[in-house]
Structure 1
Amino acid sequence: MTTSLRVGVFGLLGSGNLGNDGSLEAVLGYLRAEHPDAVVDALCGGPESVTARFGIPATRMHWNRAEYRTASRAGAVAAKGAGKIVDAFRTAAWVRRHDVVIVPGMGVLEATLPLRPWGFPYALFLLCASGRLLRTRVALVGVGAAPIRNRPTRALVRWSARLAAYRSYRDTQSRDAMRAMGVDTARDEVYPDLAFALPTPPPVEPAGIVCVGVMDFHGSNDDRARSEEIYRRYLDATIRFVRTLAEEGRPVRLLTGDRCDEAVVAAILDAVDSPLVTAAQPASLADLMKEMAAADSVVAVRYHNLICALKTGTPVLALSYAAKSDALMERMGLGAYVHPAREADADRLLEQFRALEKHSAELRRILAERNETAAQQLAVQFAELTATLFTTGDLTRARNRARQESP
């Protein structure tokens, strides 16, 4: 008979997005340090990857393995419809086995990238509704949120947040967005992104390298009509930027943040024929941080690429695709070094990059101070989680469950 608390983690984890997996890594680090007896498993997008990397049991989030593929044939459409019904029962059964479920970071309450309401928003709603019905605490920890125009998506996100037992956000504007959508945020707190709790690689003497983090960027959910135009403008500006640096004799290291970004790397390498331009294949945020710690400076699009640069104290210029990136850069003291990804302009990008490098020493000092503050704030976040989620009531429930399960 065991009285260990059962903790579930939920999200698009193990699916190739390094930022999502970094958030999971941070929460697992907290659980192993503060609650080593907790039994942890996951309901996620890539269960095999999560188990292999993090050593915890994992279950596939969706019954339909083709959930995120476009369905055109009648059979595929029918399978998706059936999957929605099956997932309701599968999610409830999984939630029922836990005392606490944590959604670790990620932009789960936003639609800043293309998103369909019946995909992840529906899955999150099933989780939070099951938690409320089955009296399992669901905690949205350090999540991102943003205004959502699509009504079905907005409704699912709003109800998910309302049904959660605990909410905290990675920036003030996320909390403001949820308040504007009708969620009572009076008790919700704001803390730095969970990735700031990850270990930082030891400092390395910069060797003149410029890291360029790329993204398969086609705009947001509201930009579908001009997605190819946005992508082409971003890609052309990035190619011109990389080519100019290479012509000046600067080594450039291309970095990704998701599997889908590899096509962008290939396009840049094909367009810029120079031995100075190389590409890394990072498998984690730790890999990204090692690359960035050795760089003079970074230019990046993805939110967690920016965090990795900031956390290593490397000056970074943000090609921003959402307000969350603007807020992050402002909070870390680099608000002047933001460039709009949708309106990317190589000449202006180079101008801002020169300014960034000119003030490198000052920016490194600022980042050292801001990183120390972020670490202190996350320590408060984890202490609050312990006080809120891991209560005497949870222990009593675990004991009662153990008695019921014993022969």
Structure 2
Amino acid sequence: MRSARDAPVRVGVFGLLGSGNLGNDGSLEAVLGYLRSAHPEAAVDALCGGPEAVTARYGIPATRLHWYRGEYRTASRAGAIAGKGLGKLVDVFRTAAWVRRHDVVIVPGMGVLEATLPLRPWGFPYSLFLLCASGRLLGTRVALVGVGAAAIRSRPTRALVRWSARLATYRSYRDDLSRDALRAMGVDTTRDEVYPDLAFALPVPPADAPPGPPGPVCVGVMDFHGGNDDRARAEEIHRRYLDGTIRFVRALVEDGRPVRLLTGDDVDASVVAAILDAVDSPLVTAAAASSLADLMKETAAADTVVATRYHNLVCALKAGTPTLALSYAAKSDALMARMGLDAYRHPAREVDADRLLEQFRALERESARIRRTLTERNLVAARQLERQFTALTAALFPATGHTHAHALRETP
């Protein structure tokens, strides 16, 4: 008979993981690396959006986040609406049953406490609330680790986010803006800490040698339609973003610059196709990146990066490549400021190709200095993330041995 003290600690990871968003999966990869290094005895599994992808890529068991398979499809017919409604009820019990099997649940990074992109309260905010409420009721420690947060105007979404944060055992944030946003929503953040984004803990893979001058420019694109408060102007914002980006890429090609188009989510493929069709040049190619490691390899081989998605920026900055942000949210501005590139930002909602080209050329003139700055900032980020993982161990894995309430209940 195995005693409770000998039972491995059971750790769950939770979120929209394996669903096509490379940033979310990069945060998971960083946390799994920490667990395998600091807690190799832990038994790890996931409750996530894409369980098959998570199991295939990371080798851990995974369960589908939602009972209703059509959760993220628009429901217009009565059957679909009823299915979604029933799914919300079933997920209360499914989530609680999954949480009960764990000693610790980690939500790895991601913008789980924000609504900078279109978001409905009964979607992921509801799922996160079920997780945190179940953890509090069942005695399972729930940790929101290196997460993003932002001010939320929708009252139902804000309430769910606020209560999720309050019910969590541990919270840390990827920037000061996130902590300030939670405080403004009425959460006591006195004991919460801020660390760099978890993706800065990932190794930078070796890059292929660049083909020679002029070097490639990576342009990270996004299927951008504005945020949660921009639904009425979504198509106008998207059209302006796409037109400005096409003009910018065309100007680079006219200067003889090879351009590599990067994405960060499966939904971005339509933007890549539109740019390839509009510019129609052999100098413009699309990278087939399936992980943050692939993105870092692409950005490390580039002379310069211009990117929209937050984790495209993280990859480029982590790789030490001079980077210009097409910024769509305060989190991008905060990241650029942290890395010493506050001057190199351009609004994604109002892309002005001529002004963007001026900023790009200024960035390239300062390339050598910026690379030195990024080397220094990356060393600082690495040390800060070491402290993050040390703090996480102290909060979630107390040094009193693996005597867990769940194991005590189940030991015969």
Query: Is the CA contact 1:251–1:276 (under 8 Å) kept in the aligned structure 2?
Result: yes
Aligned residue runs from structure 1 range 47-62, under 5 A: 47-62=51-66
Q: Which residue, out of 378, 389, 397, partners 1:371?
A: 378
Q: Return the TM-score normalized by structure 2.
A: 0.97
C-alpha separation between the residues in 2 aligned to 1:136 and 1:322? Answer: 33
C-alpha separation between the residues in 2 aligned to 1:295 and 1:8? Answer: 37
Q: Which residue, out of 200, 205, 213, partners 2:204?
A: 200
C-alpha separation between the residues in 2 aligned to 1:71 and 1:394? Answer: 48
Q: Which residue, out of 10, 30, 33, partners 1:6?
A: 10
- Which position in structure 2 is the counterpart of 1:405? 410
| Helix, strand or coil at the partner of 1:395 | coil
Tell me by how many angstroms 1:321 deviates: 0.3
Q: Is residue 295 of structure 2 the alignment partner of residue 311 of structure 1?
A: no
- Which position in structure 1 is the counterpart of 2:224? 217
Query: What is the aligned residue count?
Result: 405
Aligned residue runs from structure 1 range 274-353, under 5 A: 274-353=281-360
Tell me by how many angstroms 1:401 deviates: 3.9
Aligned residue runs from structure 1 range 3-402, under 5 A: 3-202=7-206, 205-206=209-210, 207=212, 208-392=215-399, 395-397=402-404, 401-402=406-407
CA offsets 1:346-403 (integer angstroms, 9 cap, x no match): 0111010000101000000000000000000000000000011001467211xx5445
Query: Is the CA contact 1:106–1:144 (under 8 Å) kept in the aligned structure 2?
Result: yes
C-alpha separation between the residues in 2 aligned to 1:252 and 1:392? Answer: 51
How many percent identity over aligned positions? 80
Query: Is the CA contact 1:62–1:87 (under 8 Å) kept in the aligned structure 2?
Result: yes
| Helix, strand or coil at the partner of 1:317 | strand
Runs of 4+ in 1 over 6 A off after TM superposition: none
Say if 1:15 and 1:99 are closer, same or farther in 2 by CA, change over 3 A. same
C-alpha separation between the residues in 2 aligned to 1:80 and 1:386? Answer: 38
Say if 1:235 and 1:5 are closer, same or farther in 2 by CA, change over 3 A. same
Q: Return the TM-score normalized by structure 1.
A: 0.98
1:211 maps to a residue whose letter is C
Query: Is the CA contact 1:99–1:394 (under 8 Å) kept in the aligned structure 2?
Result: no
| Helix, strand or coil at the partner of 1:396 | coil
CA offsets 1:246-269 (integer angstroms, 9 cap, x no match): 111110000110000000000000
RMSD of the TM alignment (CA)?
Answer: 1.1
Query: Is the CA contact 1:5–1:394 (under 8 Å) kept in the aligned structure 2?
Result: no
| Helix, strand or coil at the partner of 2:350 | coil
Say if 1:79 and 1:203 are closer, same or farther in 2 by CA, change over 3 A. closer
Say if 1:209 and 1:125 are closer, same or farther in 2 by CA, change over 3 A. same
C-alpha separation between the residues in 2 aligned to 1:252 and 1:300? Answer: 12
Query: Is the CA contact 2:102–2:406 (under 8 Å) kept in the aligned structure 1?
Result: no
1:146 maps to a residue whose letter is A
1:405 maps to a residue whose letter is E
| Helix, strand or coil at the partner of 1:85 | helix
Say if 1:184 and 1:394 are closer, same or farther in 2 by CA, change over 3 A. farther
